[in-house]
């Protein structure tokens, strides 16, 4: 007992030093805690300073880049970080921190199904967007591992042994349909068997459903690609977005009184169906209403193959070339149309702007 009390005093002193170091170095990570003592999992007395060394979140791209101890982990693609994903992630973060452990999330890029089937699966979130969402939910460490054909052949036991060695894996949270390893052999039952051998526990989280059924990234991709961004937002828990650098275009909009920001968006993302949308445009921390066009501009460029993304920001008159613009899709206004005259196009754009203002004002 005297040894345990002494260890706890040492741990408290360590916490104080870490808090001071965190204030001096914002990049402090869990690596500073490796090989240090951790409180017993059944100790409910969490020191108020504990949260200081959980953030800022660390984002790695390989298991070889770092190591930690006593990790609570969840594994999956988590594309979109939708409401179902958030149930798992919030539980991971809450329970890990209650047990004085880092909340670690392992995800993959590109999508494993794309690698295994050869299909071009567009994503709802880029790895960077996914990591930002994870950080907002309190995750301490995100690992975005490159998924390759070779990785898909690694047996479940071998892969879990790697995770145990690198993370000091203590607890694994997985979704109801999760599996990893060669031939998806590592389902919940198999991972539990391996856990008994490697000394980690497994917890399975039930699927989150709403009136339309189980919430899934596949269903959300369908909704976005068909232009149903309002329903997609209900399943995501936030508005679907596209971001990118504002680049020079043909400047036709400027010539007719509606200068648009042409956004160079990531081509691996799902793009909403061609048409006009009411959006919130974010320029840094500033937010503006935007009437946004996705499409081929058939009035001027009927030969175009790749959709362009152009936004007319309401009540805005600034040069933003080279800056990053984020567009949140709130509602679809109409299909993209080909007009017989420029005057007809101008009249319709003004109508789109009015509808955008009405939709976003309400």
The domains located in the chain, with CATH, are 21-31+51-207 (3.40.50.620), 216-361 (2.40.30.30)
What is the pLDDT tens value at each position of the chain, 362 positions in all? 444 444 444 434 343 343 333 433 333 344 334 333 333 333 443 333 334 345 689 999 999 998 899 999 999 999 999 999 999 999 999 999 999 999 999 999 999 989 988 899 999 999 999 999 999 999 999 999 999 999 999 999 999 999 999 999 999 999 888 899 998 999 999 999 999 999 999 999 887 776 667 889 999 999 999 999 999 999 999 999 999 999 998 777 788 889 999 999 999 999 999 999 999 999 999 999 999 999 987 777 777 778 999 999 999 999 999 999 999 999 999 998 888 888 889 999 999 999 999 999 98
310 is catalytic: yes
CA distance readout (Å), 29 to 18, 23, 50, 59, 349: 10, 12, 13, 10, 50
Q: Pick the catalytic residue from 65, 310, 328, 336.
A: 310
Q: List Cβ<8 Å contacts ≥24 apart for 220-224.
A: 220/80, 220/82, 220/124, 221/122, 221/124, 221/270, 224/124, 224/270, 224/271, 224/272, 224/329
Buried b / exposed e over 193-202, threshold 16 CB at 10 Å, is ebbeeeebeb
- The predicted model scores a pTM of 0.81
């Amino acid at each position: 007992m005297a040894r345990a009390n002494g260890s706890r005093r040492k741990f408290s002193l360590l916490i104080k030093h870490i808090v001071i170091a965190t204030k001096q170095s914002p990049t402090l990570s869990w690596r500073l805690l490796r090989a240090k003592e951790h409180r017993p999992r059944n100790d409910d007395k969490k020191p108020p300073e504990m949260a200081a060394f959980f953030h800022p979140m660390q984002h790695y791209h390989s298991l070889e880049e770092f190591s930690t101890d006593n990790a609570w982990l969840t594994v999956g693609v988590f594309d979109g970080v939708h409401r179902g994903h958030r149930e798992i992630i919030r539980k991971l973060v809450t329970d890990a921190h209650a047990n004085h452990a880092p909340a670690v999330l392992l995800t993959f890029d590109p999508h494993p199904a794309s690698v295994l089937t050869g299909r071009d699966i567009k994503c709802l979130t880029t790895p960077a967007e996914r990591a930002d969402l994870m950080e907002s939910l309190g995750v301490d460490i995100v690992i975005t591992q490159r998924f390759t054909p070779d990785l898909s052949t690694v047996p479940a036991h071998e892969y879990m042994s790697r995770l145990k060695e690198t993370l000091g894996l203590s607890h694994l949270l997985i979704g109801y349909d999760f599996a990893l390893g060669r031939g998806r052999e590592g389902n919940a039952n198999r991972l539990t068997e391996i856990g008994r051998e490697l000394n980690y526990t497994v917890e399975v989280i039930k699927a989150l459903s709403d009136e339309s059924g189980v919430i899934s990234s596949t269903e959300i991709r369908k909704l976005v690609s068909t232009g149903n961004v309002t329903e997609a937002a209900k399943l995501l828990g936030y508005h679907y977005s596209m971001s990118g650098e504002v680049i020079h275009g043909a400047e036709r909009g400027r010539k007719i009184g509606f200068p648009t920001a042409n956004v160079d968006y990531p081509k691996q993302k799902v793009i909403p169906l061609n048409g006009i949308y009411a959006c919130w445009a974010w320029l840094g921390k500033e937010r503006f209403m935007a009437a946004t066009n996705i499409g081929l501009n058939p009035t001027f460029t009927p030969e175009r193959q790749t959709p362009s993304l152009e936004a007319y920001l309401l009540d805005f008159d600034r040069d933003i070339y080279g800056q990053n613009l984020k567009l949140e899709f709130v509602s679809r206004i109409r299909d993209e149309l080909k007009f017989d005259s420029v005057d007809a196009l101008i009249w319709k754009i003004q109508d789109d702007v009015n509808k955008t203002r009405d939709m976003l004002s309400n």
